[in-house]
Amino acid sequence: MPDPSRWFKRLGPSGHERARTPQVVCFPHSGGSASVYRPLGSELAGDMQAVAVQYPGRQDRHDEPVITDLHELADRIADAFRQAAADVPTVFFGHSMGAILAYEVALRLGDEGPLSLVASGRPAPSRVRLTTSYLLDDTALAKQVSWLGGTATELLEHPEMRALLLPLIRGDYQASETYRPRGDEPLNCPVLALGGDADPVASLDDIGAWSGHTTGPFRLETLSGGHFYLQDNWPAVADLIRSAALVPER
């Protein structure tokens, strides 16, 4: 039986001061850990409880092997979510690889899943990206990651951190780049898709294609920035997540 405390890290206060405080479950990007969402947790404090998924292979799970199959990872997160599920309105938020993971976990959970999905910085599952960055040598892979920006860029400049991070990033890239949807069954919850207006790997057209993956309402919102537009837009992202939490419960 999965241990939910290994998979889900609470960001900020517990939120027990108000009954049924809505929560957002955040899925990190490739190479990311639960802590990347601390700024979001701070922005949402008092309104929503932020919880981040901790994938194996990083931070307090550094002794576990990275899971390189996205469907396996989604299976394990869904199992852990069922064990941890609280009777509160829940929004799933995922960025980049995390958007696909959030979608796949939501599919597995069905009616037990989120009341809304917020998918950020990732083409829709139907717009598969045929890339193989995970096969690059260390130097080329580090350049690829640095080109996209994000929190890992500065860390990769230090040889010790680079040696620790690149295997983790490579494993996540493999999971993300070898992912293929197993069917075309749509979600029945609303989907809010977010994108940076200068994202070099996720065009607004590809992000808008998330509309075909739900039978519920769909909305596309654009924010200023590249692939990691989140870093300069946490207050706006928090506001959009709050709006997703206002969807009536099923």
For residues 237 and 98, give the distance between their C-alpha atoms in angstroms, rounded to a whole number: 15
Q: Retrieve residue 53's tokens.
A: 């998924």
Position 188: which residue type? N
Sheet holding 90-95, edge to edge: 8-11, 49-53, 23-27, 90-95, 116-120, 191-196, 218-223
**Gap between the terminal Cα atoms of the chain:** 28
For residues 127 and 130, give the distance between their C-alpha atoms in angstroms, rounded to a whole number: 9
User: Of 36, 38, 32, which Cα lies nearest the Cα of 12?
Assistant: 38
Q: Which is catalytic among the residues 30, 35, 42, 96? A: 96
For residues 249 and 247, give the distance between their C-alpha atoms in angstroms, rounded to a whole number: 6
DSSP state of 25: E
96 in active site: yes
What residues are annotated to the active site?
96
